[in-house]
Chains A and B, each alone.
Chain A
Amino acid sequence: KQEVTQIPAALSVPEGENLVLNCSFTDSAIYNLQWFRQDPGKGLTSLLLIQSSQREQTSGRLNASLDKSSGRSTLYIAASQPGDSATYLCAVMSGGYNKLIFGAGTRLAVHP
């Protein structure tokens, strides 16, 4: 059974810091891995999608890496801003019917 773990569960940092959020998964047989952002009471916004054959994806200040063999992904946020405050969710697509399995998320607070 696929399980996804995210560390840390919560993070509070001053503005301007570079951050690393970690995600691990138990079954390396995945189709892809996706990072999402969720603001309180809102739906999910897709940040980055990494196919199983890829190593990393970049979008603006965000960079996500994938090491499928070790079951790990990291989301790197450069020069954090207060507007980055949100919950960041990692999810892997695996198993039948292309299920998306979520981690519990990392709650990020960036203070001025």
Chain B
Amino acid sequence: GAVVSQHPSWVICKSGTSVKIECRSLDFQATTMFWYRQFPKQSLMLMATSNEGSKATYEQGVEKDKFLINHASLTLSTLTVTSAHPEDSSFYICSANGQATNYGYTFGSGTRLTVV
């Protein structure tokens, strides 16, 4: 149980285009979903926290107009990287927690974004 599905697993896009990444909790209702970014050989950096039906809370230094987060339901959150540039290339990982996970975190498998 407590599976989080993230899609796509990898994507290549051209500079200036937008990319949407989906994060779904498959068998539980996620109270909160989180988006992380990870650079090579570095740890995860929290980008934003989202609760269903409300605006996301962004960490300091994260541009909310560039990284749009929508959390329309208890099982789906999306991250849209708008007007992507090569420096946005990174590994993006979502996670979710809820009562079913005993409020521990379950992570998606990540999305490798490459902007060319």
Q: Which residues of A contact B (CB under 8 A)?
A: 31-32, 34, 36, 41-46, 49, 51, 89, 91, 93, 97-105
Contacts and interface: CB of A to CB of B under 8 A. Distances in A.
B64 to A, nearest CB: 15
Contact of B102 (A49, A89, A98, A102): A49
Contacts of A34: 104-105
B6 interface: yes
A104 B49 contact: no
B8 to A, nearest CB: 13
A41 B105 CA distance: 19
A5 B73 CA distance: 35
B112 A32 contact: no
B43 A99 contact: no
Interface residues of B, number: 24
B2 to A, nearest CB: 9
B46 A100 contact: yes
Given A42-B110, A99-B34, A101-B46, 13 more contacts: A34-B104, A42-B109, A43-B107, A43-B108, A46-B104, A49-B102, A91-B105, A97-B32, A97-B57, A98-B97, A99-B46, A99-B49, A105-B43
Contacts of A97: 32, 49, 51, 57
23 contacts: A32-B104, A34-B104, A41-B110, A42-B110, A43-B6, A43-B93, A43-B107, A43-B108, A43-B110, A44-B44, A44-B93, A46-B105, A49-B102, A49-B104, A89-B43, A89-B44, A98-B97, A99-B49, A102-B43, A102-B44, A103-B43, A104-B43, A105-B43
- Which label, helix, strand, loop or mixed, suits the secondary structure of the A interface? strand
Contact of B107 (A36, A41, A104): A36
Contacts of A93: 103, 105
Contacts of B51: 97
Contacts of B97: 98
A46 B106 contact: yes
